[in-house]
Amino acid sequence: MLLRAAGVPVLEGVHCTTVGEALNAYDSLGSKVVAVKSQIHAGGRGKGTVFNPETKDVVMEGGVKIAFSKDEVNTYATNILGNLLVTIQTGDEGKIVNNLYIEAGCDIAHEYYLALLVDRDTKSVLIMASTEGGMDIEEVAEHTPELIHKVVVDANIGILGFQKRDLGMALGLSGAALKSFGKMLSSMYTMFCAEDCAMVEINPLVRTGADEMVALDAKISFDENAEFRHKNWDDLRDISEEEDTEIRAKETGLSYVKLDGNIGCLVNGAGLAMATMDVIKLYGGEPANFLDVGGGANEEQVKTAFSIILEDPNVKGILVNIFGGIMRCDIIARGVIAATEALSLQVPLVVRLAGTNVDEGKAILAASTLNIHPADDLAEGAQKIVALIGGGQ
């Protein structure tokens, strides 16, 4: 959709959510051969496996299928829609496929790989291309790195003609195909910047029999920091694929990631929040979440943070770890007390406070009649909460 709008050649295709729509799409495309593609926000779909979400039985190998007739479209669409697709990128739990893309076939002369991404090492936009299209690029990078060609774009100049030619020639392109490739790179780089992408991956990129370069499949990710200048992103978002609590946390200015353990964590600062999880694990426990309340959280945010942690039925205890900088420990202490009262907290709670106004904060907690266990440092806090929930089980 974005690629087409940016002027990158793509195959004709139709987005569908039902088998009926898929069959109509086959008719309207007028191509005998079509690809039936699962649309989820993860790669490796072609080599994935489709499971029945209830019985966990294998329905079909491959989340992207080539159909040579309307009957085959019917079979593949029925097998995929509403079922679970597990790929190397989804993890074992997989993702339910609610969307399909039916795409017209094309005459493929060769498949390539092309990606644009922000590279941390060069602090620039990097363009990577390979003749090994359709393959898992990480494997190519590991075993045959010489087959991956790169150019680094100077942010204040943009992509230059020789860079496009060098990259195209490295792929063995010439004539009309080289020209088509160069035009495509310009369009993609413009789109990459205009849309604040983090990565655009075209795999495969194909050269047709007529020497035209066409993007067959694409994966685009965006830079979340740039959301404020892209109102259109809301339309691209498939909310059903995101954790509901993670979205709600974000709306209240909290950063939350759900994990599989049973000790909830409430921490200020991303690094300290990760370290808190690590130390819980080090002392035999399992963290239930990552939660960063940020640098300037107020009482209300602390309360929201608690309610989000407690929504996870696995949570058997909570560790609060605050190193007050901008945030004052007395404010956190009051927030913790208000939240535990309002939510009538049933699980054990360990609170470790340090930094600005720590003595006032500790005094407030000590004066409360609530069952709050204080800790002086992170190790003590982690050991206490692990012991209180009865060890690491």
Residue among 195, 201, 212, 286 flagged as catalytic: 201
Which residue, 14 or 152, has its beta carbon nearer to another protein?
152
Nearer to another protein, 10 or 141 (CB): 141
| Positions in the binding site for another protein (CB under 8 A) | 89, 91, 118, 120-121, 123-125, 138, 154-156, 193, 196, 198, 223-226, 228-229, 255, 257, 259, 267-275, 277-282, 287, 290, 292, 295, 323-326, 354-356, 377-380
Which residue in the list 26, 101, 112, 113 is annotated as catalytic? 113
- Shortest Cβ distance from residue 193 to another protein (Å)? 6
Answer yes or no: 113 catalytic: yes
Smallest gap, in angstroms, from Cβ of residue 356 to another protein?
Answer: 5
Scored b (16 or more CB within 10 A) or e, 261-300 reads bbbbbbbbbeebbbebbebbbebebbbbbbbbbbeebeee
Complex with another protein: residue 51 or 290, whichever CB lies closer: 290
- Nearest distance from residue 283's CB to another protein, in Å? 8
Q: Which is nearer to another protein, 82 or 355 (CB)?
A: 355
The dihedral through the CA atoms of 305, 306, 311, 317 has a sign that is positive
Residue among 51 and 323 whose Cβ is closer to another protein: 323
- The least CB distance from residue 140 to another protein, in Å, is 12
Compute the distance between CA of residue 15 and CA of residue 89 in angstroms, rounded to an integer. 22
- In the complex, minimum distance from the CB of residue 161 to another protein, in angstroms, rounded to a whole number: 20
Does the annotation mark 112 as catalytic? no
Rounded Cα gap, residues 374 and 224, in angstroms: 37
| Residue type present at position 80 | I
Residues annotated as catalytic (active site), given as ranges? 113, 201
